[in-house]
Amino acid sequence: MRNKIYKRIVTDEIVKYIEDDNIIVLHGARQVGKTHILYYLDQFLKKQGKDTYYIDLEDRRYTQILNAGVDQFINLLREEGKKTVQNGIGKSIFVLIDEIQYLDDPSSFLKLTVDHHKEIKLIVSGSSTFEIKSKFKDTLAGRTVNFEIFGLSFDEVLTFKDYYFDKQQAPTVKKLGELIGLFKEYALYGGYPKVVLTREVEKKEKYLQQIIDTYVRKDVRDLANVKDIAKFNKLLETLAAQSGNLLNITELANTCQISKQTIENYLFILENTYIIKLVRPFHRNIRSELFKTPKVYFYDSGLMQLLWLKNFQKEIIGNVFETAIFSELIKKHSKEAVYYWRTMDKKEIDFILNSKNQLFPIEAKLNFERFSPTAINYFNDEYQPSDYKVTGLFGESKNKHYTYPWML
């Protein structure tokens, strides 16, 4: 029996394409809720009177059938009573396929299905862009619409906890205290759905450690063809300690005793499996931007903290908070919209949102009192953004520019 299925925010975008000819592709890290979204879409379609069929390719029987070709796939549907696919008229059935990357040649299977069986609408999921890109060929160009799935945003955490909050209403002291406590929990433990839904801290830590051991260390290690596991683990721990800092590949290579070329390969895999993101500096001159040092951030602050400190802390610290804010921004906007800004004389702003030709600087300070306006004022004079924000949890919120993370 499946647990309660909560609605994820991204489903509002997905359903806009539910009747289109394109294949809907969901991709993201393992355990962030792609299967949950497929379950939700399955229920959503059934409530509309649609015929659906769900396939989990972790079940090798299904993998074997789909690897045998589209004809065997059609036979499977007919065998399961999906007789409407014999007509070839209209979109009579929605097929949801989980873990599409397990197929030997998913591109060929998807292309042949979408081209020759217009009555079948495909919605598929796959773990990481790397695994999908390595198996998806150019033949699918123009046939897919893609959605990146991340861990839960803070708004979704509140939904999963059945916690009511109206952003249009100024919170009471009681409500504000509760929200601060909930965001601290979100920053400390991260946004993996299973971790969020678990109440006991000991179990949260155990589940997240399992994600690290099973998916981060093993899957990424296998994809990157890691030869020296101890050095790779050292790299993960070092990167976690540096989340929010400038990336120095030479320093990493020396610390972990790994060649720079191998470090770059590992970083590529880690970025394309949604473990880390290399955030580029914002510049008007694109050419100069490409040659500037990126910052490294983990997508999940709980995972970052456990890799770094080996256990959950009781109090939130600065770079854990900053990593949580980064995670919020990419979930609410997109990973392509988030930059940082730094001058040669080290004036720095944590985040620059560059979306729809609008610039929006954001400083993340755990305590509002630690904010200095020097860099923001310099940036405002140079680029004339429409507004800026200082986001924090503690201290005095002095004016309209000071805001809590859930109001970004």
Are residues 239 and 268 located together in one domain of the fold? Answer: yes
Domain with 111, as residue range(s), is 11-149
Question: Residue 355's pLDDT is what?
Answer: 83
Residue after which a domain boundary falls, among 149, 183, 202: 149
Are residues 112 and 197 located together in one domain of the fold? Answer: no
Question: Residue 344's pLDDT is what?
Answer: 86
Contact 46, 88 (CB under 8 A): no
Are residues 113 and 171 located together in one domain of the fold? Answer: no
Q: What are phi and psi of 394, to 5 degrees?
A: -125, 165
Ramachandran quadrant class, 190 (left: phi over 0; alpha: psi -120 to 50; beta: rest): left
Please state the separation of Cα 158 from the chain's center in Å: 18
Burial category of 87 from C-beta neighbours within 10 Å (exposed 0-12, middle 13-18, buried 19 and up): exposed
Are residues 171 and 247 located together in one domain of the fold? Answer: yes
Are residues 256 and 338 located together in one domain of the fold? Answer: yes
Are residues 144 and 185 located together in one domain of the fold? Answer: no
For residue 97, give every residue at least 6 positions away whose Cβ sits within 8 Å of its Cβ, in sequence order, or none: 55, 57, 66, 122, 123, 124, 125
Residue after which a domain boundary falls, among 149, 167, 194: 149
In a domain, 5, yes or no: no
Over residues 1-41, the pLDDT tens digits come to: 356 889 999 999 999 999 888 999 999 988 999 999 999 99
Are residues 274 and 311 located together in one domain of the fold? Answer: yes
Are residues 134 and 169 located together in one domain of the fold? Answer: no
Residue after which a domain boundary falls, among 149, 178, 204: 149
Question: Residue 218's pLDDT is what?
Answer: 78
Model confidence, pTM: 0.92
Are residues 173 and 213 located together in one domain of the fold? Answer: yes
In a domain, 2, yes or no: no
| Nearest partner of 103 among 77, 75, 70, judged by Cα | 70
Q: Provide the residue-wise pLDDT of the chain in tens; the chain has 408 residues.
A: 356 889 999 999 999 999 888 999 999 988 999 999 999 999 999 999 999 999 999 999 999 999 999 999 999 998 998 866 554 444 589 999 999 989 999 999 999 999 998 889 999 998 866 666 666 666 677 889 999 999 999 999 999 999 999 999 999 999 999 999 999 999 999 999 999 999 999 999 999 999 999 888 877 888 788 888 889 999 999 999 999 999 999 999 999 999 999 999 999 989 988 999 999 999 876 666 555 899 999 999 999 999 999 999 999 999 999 999 999 999 999 999 999 999 888 899 999 999 878 899 999 999 999 999 999 999 999 999 989 999 999 998 889 999 999 999
Question: Residue 289's pLDDT is what?
Answer: 56
In a domain, 4, yes or no: no
* Range 395-405 burial, b when 16+ CB lie within 10 A, else e: eeeeeebbbbb
Are residues 325 and 211 located together in one domain of the fold? Answer: yes
